[in-house]
Structure 1
Amino acid sequence: MDTFLDFEECVRDSPTFKQSLEKCEGEIAELEGRVEKVKRLCNQMVDAGQNYSSCNQLFLSALAEFTIYHKSDGVILNCLRQFNQGLQEMIQFQTMLFDQTQRAITQQLSNLLSQFLPSMRESRREFVRIGDDLEAAVVKNAQMSRLKASEAERATHLLVATRKCHQHFALDYCLQLNNFRVQQKLDILNSIFSYFHAQYTFFHQGFDLLRDLEPTMKTMASQLSQLSSDCSAMKKDLENTHLLVQQRDASGEAVLVCNPSDGGTVQGPLFKRSRKKNKTWKRCWFSTENNQLIYSKSHKEPPVVLFDDLRLCGIKSLDTIDRLFCFELLSVQKCCVLQADSEELRSAWINAVQTCIDKAYRDQSPEQNTQAKESSIPVPALAPPSHPPALAVALYCHGNQHCCDCGEPEPRWASVNLGITMCIECSGIHRSLGVHLSKVRSLTLDSWEPEQLKLLCVLGNEVVNGIYEGCPIDGIQKPSADSPRQDKEQWIRFKYVEKRFVKTYLDASPEWMKQMLGQRLFEASLSGDLKEMASALAEGAEVNSSDDKREGRTPLIASAIGRRLDPYRCFGFSACAFNQGSLLACEFLLQNGANVNHRDHHGQGALHAAATHGHTGQVCLLLKRGANQYAADEKGNDPLSIAMETAHADIVTLDSEGFFGSVGDDETFQDIFRDFSNMASHDPDKLSRRQFARSSEGDKQKN
């Protein structure tokens, strides 16, 4: 409880009162300085906020102009308009917040100081002045002589009057100080509460605004997912077309374009000699259309008809002039000399123009001409296969339609390494655990690879909950969708970090646990049993290095099992090299922290094992995950040389196409590896192993 100035001590003018008065005045001076600092910083904050609002308004104006630029696209136009309106309302809310902040802090605190401090300063001046007069009257009364009775009596009366006046002024000053101490709490608390209420109103208005926009955002999210799928398909189509054209036509030489769909139009660049100046040549773009020869000097100028009717023209090679690759078109009215870039192009132009002349004389229907032209030049059609969206694939599996941890329907997020789906709130909690425990991705916004989606289908919420919630504990209840975030966060940490609900062997020794779980992990990796692998990892598999030399295991696998294995740093996927169907097991361990470039004491890693056993899908997967294709073992053999040694044609073909050296550097090669891994994930039989027949002579040389 606060202490106030004692009025009785004030009347006595005791040292205790003077000490309390000095302390009270110091506190008021300190409070005044702090209030001025708060007012100054509040004004700076409001000025900065208003500047931010002005800049934000300019940004929204530019965004509105950007919206007009996309007026032809209804999806983007509707999206940008609605978000622009929402942001405009948010700026209005911010303006109201700054105004209320200035009134709550600056004005209320200023009123507190202006209401009390001027009168208190005036009272203090009078109090100090009358105190000086009282001190003088006391000294004068003390110095009076007994012999001067009349003067002593006047001095005594003056002292009494001065003391009474001093007491009145002191009591008034103390009352003002006490009243200020009482009022300051009310005004300061009211000011802070008003500011906090303004903040509460601002965020509540923003929450209501975003809640109203939630249906629109869901619609936009679905449109964005569809647009993302269409964009990926279009990019794949463009890249395939680009690759086809590059392989077919990108030879560094000029190309003669023939379009059957346009009636056999022939297009290409040629040099044209001026008819007035024989030594002047101009490079133009020529084309044949409707039995006419047309050329354009530049893209900015309209085309010009050089010959109206090709049926009245003749064409021949011209070797009588100094320039190479020339040919001449002749008609009754004029002639024209043209030059191609090579002998092949000159012959092609002569044949093409002669073909146009011959076709002009034929009496065939347009439909027959079109069929003939289309059959003369085949145009391949590239259409990438359409893949289902990640959300539809993930929710297709039973149990994935609800959040794995709280049961909220329609989850839109998933953990790649755990193989579960979750709501947005639980996804935020999973992110806080770290990527070594849970790698969270969006099912609608992020791109998913076939192996990752298949993990969600093979594992899923029911399988994972059967492992991580296998032994419930009394008193700890699983949260629901309506539970507070604190309950969900506590449950998720108990479940995935502390693993309180995972089945354990209480009476088993740590050494036996390491042996048993290591054996389980090895056998599950070998057979591709994801459920058993997830269970072993959840129980914390650790294996002694003494298992390295166990009979029946290759040094590569022995090294993977012989090292210390914890739930998120395991490297058992080299065991997957024995089984093509264990590609998902390899992906599962990679997602859970396995080192893709780990090698055993012979210098061999998982990529060496996959190349040895000829598993093309695993080779693609490991390369895609960053495996070092140049790593050599103790004999100096890298994965490619091992594939050639064991005569696995598919893997050797990858290098012949240049894929080995291009992984990670080119998106087209990434797509090709994705196609290989997609085939290996969904239809491994298509990756049939082909063996090269090695001659006996080669075997002898090798021996």
Structure 2
Amino acid sequence: MTVKLDFEECLKDSPRFRAEIEVVQNDVSELETRLEKVRVPTYPVIDTTQKSVKTKLHTFVKEDVRHFKDVRKEFERRSECLEGAQAKNAQAPRGKTHEVEEASNALLNARRMFRSEALDYVLEVRERMLSLMDAQAQFFQYGQQSLSELDVYRQKLSDEYTQFVLNSAREKRDMEQRHAAIKKKVIFSLNSLDPNGIAMEGYLYKRASNAFKTWSRRWFSIQKNQLVYQKKFKQPTVVVEDLRLCTVKPSAENERRFCFEVVSPSKSCLLQADSERQQQAWISAVQNSIASAFQERREDTHSPRQRCSSVSMSSLGSEGRGSGTEQEDSSCKALEEVQAIPGNRQCCDCGEADPEWASINLGITLCIVCSGIHRSLGVHFSKVRSLTLDSWEPELIKLMCELGNTVINRIYEARIDEITIKKPQSSSPRGDKESWIKSKYVEKKFIHKLPETGRNTLLRRSSARRNRATTADRSGPKPPLKPKPNHRDEEEDLSALHPGALLYRAAALQNFPVMADALAHGANVNWVNTAEESSTPLIQAVSANALAACEFLLQNGANVNQADSNGRGPLHHGTILGHTGLVCLFLKRGADYNAKDKNQKDPITIAVDNANADIVTLLRIAKMNKEMREMDEAFGHTGDDTYQDIFRDFSHMASNNPEKLKRRSADPRF
């Protein structure tokens, strides 16, 4: 049996150390079983040694192995004490200094006791194995006196035994020195620049995304441009697929201390370290890994369009299609359709050719350098997604095709000729690009300024012309809005409206350039028109059955649950009007299907009254899935993702074949 336990892994108490300890424990149990079955044969030549050898083996089985088990129990007890101290330290409230100090001291003492016990445990394994080797050596030494032909083998065994004794003594001395070192310093369970590509690893607390918001202690590591965690000996779970899509920041919005947040375009992961020093170390490690991922990005041997062609050809001969192929097809479709929009063949901010990234709330394409700068602005300014790495929902592709670089630059670079700042090129330094992007989207230096008049105007369709007559013209005239079908034959000139009212009216008319212009001028995406039952721009887009307009407003922060004066939110209106695609979209974006209007009707009741089988199906599946997920996560299960396939089918129909959703059930009871 080979005993090889790494000291650093022992101190970190990593999953690798636990796995090695488990192997040693299994080997000792197996050895104990075998030794109990050993019967030393009786030969005249070794009859004098039989009693001595049996005594040694009996002592090893009955005393040494039993003592080893006692030490193992003490090791497990110290491990449980350490976990309890870590949990109490993590739960200590930020504002109670005495509790924090008491929890920190208790954690420090528990950690020292555990590490001392861990070293004693490892040393105990070695000493007991040395005792066994001693018994074996004596057996062969006695046997050598009668069996001279084993002299060579005995000499080799004696040399190995001597070397083992020396190694054991050396390791025992090292253990004693490490015992002393533990009392002097605290070693963090962290790595940096590991030869195996692990940039950082150690234990962190992770808050669950379920309704209970429970905290679990997991072994995290940063490796291969990914953030992963491991639970005991199970396979690692990937938290972040590509660190280039993420940002990391400290979090002080909850009661726990030493928290930080890793934010990606699709989700946010809240983590907690054991101390402020560990928190800063993890934040720095994630930031450095993000920077390294951008610097070490390898050029692909094929262009994005060639990759799309290869994916299409490879899928022609297959009858079925996996999730990976679906994601590649989705990315290829997004790349082809989005780059086909005027101006999208070059980066919106620096002009680099064939951009492979996009800002989904702005509706523009970006190169990889500019996408990193956009990501650093925060999701309230720009939400970055890859055109080749991420999967794209059909409504997002439809939204991107409604805008584009040319349209957005007419808004955000309207006064570029009036200022001396020069727009960066693809070869410009990153600092120049960063300065330009912040001036363009954060400070908005290049858009047309609005006059202060007319900012508080209430919007009424019947008085639109009266409002225009009393409001001064804006310096940057808006393109005339397309008329709403069956509303009026003439084009509407709403240039006198303030940004909120302009967004409200443009949402009803599905005019994306004007909506983007209104948001650029500071329109409140949740602006309320008190003259029309406290309706919002999102509810106006629902009334027009404008799927892409709703997606645009949601990506820019519209509240999917904001209700009008009748207590009806966008989901209520979509259900009443029978817009199945919009109902599907709102449910995916977290709409409350239990909300009741003033008539105490929730969307499911309304859908049943209207005999809309598709909407009833979506609402009931969403409700059942949420209940199942909450139950499964409470018991540690992953839940069923079958409902995602149903929602995906409805999303595709709503974007590509909306006529298929125009149906009613003949039986209102379903």
- Greater Rg by CA: 1
- TM-score of the pair, normalised by structure 2: 0.45
Indicate the structure with greater helix content: 1
